[in-house]
Structure 1
Amino acid sequence: MRKITACLLTILGAITPTAISDSATRNFGSYYYVSHYDDQSHQQDYNYYNVVTKEPSKLEQIVEPKTWNRPASNYTFSYLEEDEFGPSNWGALSPSCNGLYQSPVSLAVNRSLFVRKKRPLELWGLQSRPTRITLVNEGGSAAYFFDYRKADHPRLRGGPLKVDYMFYQFHYHLGSEHSLEGQRSTSELHLVFYNSLYESYESAQNQADGIAVIALLYDVLKKDRIDTLNKWTRYLSKVIEEDHEYSIPNYGLFSLSDVTQTTTWPYFSYEGSLTTPPCSETVQWIVVTQRMMMTKSELKKMRQLKGRGGEWVLNSRPNQALNFRRVFLY
């Protein structure tokens, strides 16, 4: 009987991802990830979330959401908790925002399952040059919409994804949305893709397998002499006012490789939601563990954009409860 039990345990160990439960330094590919690291060197004055974040308590999770007597569709959401439709009351605008699979979440190595046998994550068309990039102030931050020739359109595949996903746009949040080992970063950039089985992002966003998002977390470089590290920040001064659009000239166009640099980083993956209303729970998240860098000058440009009531605010949603979801580490 003991031999049979041992055999079963061996088989299960071979086919089940291994949970990482200690805080030792681990080598994932060529990158060392340290659980419970102290990463303050590049963000002393520019990490606007210096407090360690935590998931809501069970008591906080069962509090009934506030109800409203007037149609929510006439109002917009806010990132300021004191506002009528601040983050705690987004459920009044969209019931999905009170769901059990919401994003962002707090991610940690010792609460994740390490995937040993994995397909590599591939971003086909990483070097493709777009025919046009339109920059839009969407309310205090910018979104970048790309046009491509059909044959050049970037596709994301592999890793946790079962099918190909088409690139749609990328945007950023001031103050990272996800936290790693309890720490938030200065900014978070989201590359948004939609399932290629659907005709468009609009038709995919409400489907269970509709959306995939790569999240890149940024810290600020301490050196003052370097002005620009990221091409995508160069034209932010053109869309300072809310709803302003700007078409980047041909000589300023860039490929996704100028944003991601590579796709070989280690990353967390979990099932979650959009981080703004309607908070649709249709997103496969890929949160990169390797921090990116931006300069103080670039951060200043990002903070100049106005929206949602005037001057810039931290447009990042607080962490949501994980609610027994599994997080995988690739």
Structure 2
Amino acid sequence: MAYQFFSKPKSRSSSASPSPYRPARSNNPPIHLPPLQPPVGAKPGSCNVSEDTFPPFPHEIPAGYATAHPNITVETVKTAHIPSLSRITGLLLPIRYPTSFYTATITDPVIASLSRVAVYHDHPVTEVPDRGSLPGTDKVIGGIRCRLEKQDSVPVVNGREATTLYIQTLHLLSPYRGSGVATSLLNSLLFESVDDKSTRKVSELVKHYNIREVTAHVHEANEDGLNWYTARGFKLDHTIVEGYYRRLKPSGARIVRLKVQWQDEETEGGQDIQDPAQAPVEPNEGPAQHALPNDADDEDWEKVEAEDDGDLGVQTLGESPILERDEKETASRKRKAEDESGNRAQRRL
């Protein structure tokens, strides 16, 4: 399952199993903004695909990866995070994963190294929190889970097996979107955390797994999600994977790809990972967007992984009173924040 910024689809319809790629086609403007999915070679819906064939990352992962928001950090997943992470995933994404999908972010060393949560702290973060702690009112507000796949196009680079990082889930509660937090979730896997972003290097994680590409599936009508990825250096495949989202109409998916070139190499035809701080500003954007361009596009999108024929324990969400209550609470918090912001603006006037 993966991350996309968009409003959750309100209706779903069944379609046939995924069919071979077809030429790209034009579409009408999206009625709703849907989700993303697994890499090309992956079997849809599978929670764990071949991670056990890769040697786990041998080093301790530093805590407290900084974000542009002073109260939010990116952390590795801990046992205390699982209840909130599963609740948020169920709230934001239109399918529900089995418990093993979440526990693997702790118990499977490869999956754990490729999973992160965004944590909101009740005060600006000035010091790195103790590992494993979830103090006070700190709360999980989003997360990312990825998997590794063997590269088919360039299977060996520098004498080592090359891999693709596939984004399975990437999601963030709406009140915290627009501050670059989703970008930081992805960057926490790709980049070393350093103060000087102009000399940012790929992470030791990328080097260990020899990651040469990042991929995801995006619902073909999710223009906001597609724009979010392209603003960060991803390229769109020209084909549409028909029937990828069986319960959505249209049911096709677009594949987004980011070629990873390490700065200490000169791989012909590759490209540097696009750090949002260095990305060009889109037209009609003011100076405030220079630091993290297009982070306002974090609004209204999620990423969802396609289900396979057997659903593998994945159950669709029905008329859940818990889901309805969470949606009302989230909407209420957002309205309150907007009202407070409007009142402050009036007082300044």
Which protein has the bigger strand share? 1
Which protein has the bigger helix share? 2
Give the TM-score taking structure 2 as reference length: 0.24
Give the TM-score taking structure 1 as reference length: 0.25
